[in-house]
Amino acid sequence: MKKLFIAGALTLLTTTTFAQHKCILAVDETDEFTGTKRKATRYREAGKGNTGKLLLKVAHLQDEDGGFYAVYAGSSADLGCSTSSSYMYFLFEDGSKLKIQHGGDIECGDDAVVYNIINYSEVNKPISKIRLGMSEYYEDYEVYDSQHLINELKCIKF
């Protein structure tokens, strides 16, 4: 009976530990002159496709005019360059979809990413898949954790 209790306790502890999301920030600063606050997570592996892995990062900037959130996505697969036609397409567990066009400059190379400003409330729900489209190809990624983006957004809230 004691062994069964210990085994059950270890299982519960392991499940609880892995279920917790650890915030890892790359940026967490406040400009001492303007008061502008910036937070950003590090890139994290968030899903797997047929040829590569999906990397996601989120950022939050807040100043006297308000603020915004942004999401960045990249792949370990070579999908081409980031251009104005590049995009992230979110498929949420409730069946809704959201397409976000790339908002940055043309970027080619191994570290090309797609990013843009997002509406917090539109993406703050469980995700089942993300499609990342760049200049040459697109790839669909099954996300490892449907709560990943929600948890990352919580990490950068002010």
Q: Could you read off the pLDDT tens digit of each residue along the chain, which spans 158 residues?
A: 444 333 343 333 333 334 578 999 999 999 999 999 999 999 999 999 999 999 999 999 998 888 999 999 999 999 999 999 999 999 999 999 999 999 999 999 888 999 999 998 899 999 999 999 999 999 999 999 999 999 999 999 88
Report yes or no on 61 lying in a domain. yes
DSSP 64: T
Report yes or no on 13 lying in a domain. no
| pLDDT value of position 109 | 86
| pLDDT value of position 90 | 97
Which domain range does residue 75 map to? Answer: 23-155
**Domains held by the chain: number:** 1
Class of residue 1 by CB neighbours under 10 A (exposed 0-12, middle 13-18, buried 19+) = exposed
| pLDDT value of position 63 | 85
Helix (H, G, I), strand (E, B) or coil at 156: coil
Q: Which long-range contacts (CB under 8 A, 24 or more apart) does 95-102 make?
A: 96/125, 98/122, 98/123, 100/71
Report yes or no on 145 lying in a domain. yes
Report yes or no on 74 lying in a domain. yes
| pLDDT value of position 38 | 96
| pLDDT value of position 19 | 55
Report yes or no on 4 lying in a domain. no
Report yes or no on 89 lying in a domain. yes
| pLDDT value of position 102 | 96
Report yes or no on 31 lying in a domain. yes
Report yes or no on 105 lying in a domain. yes
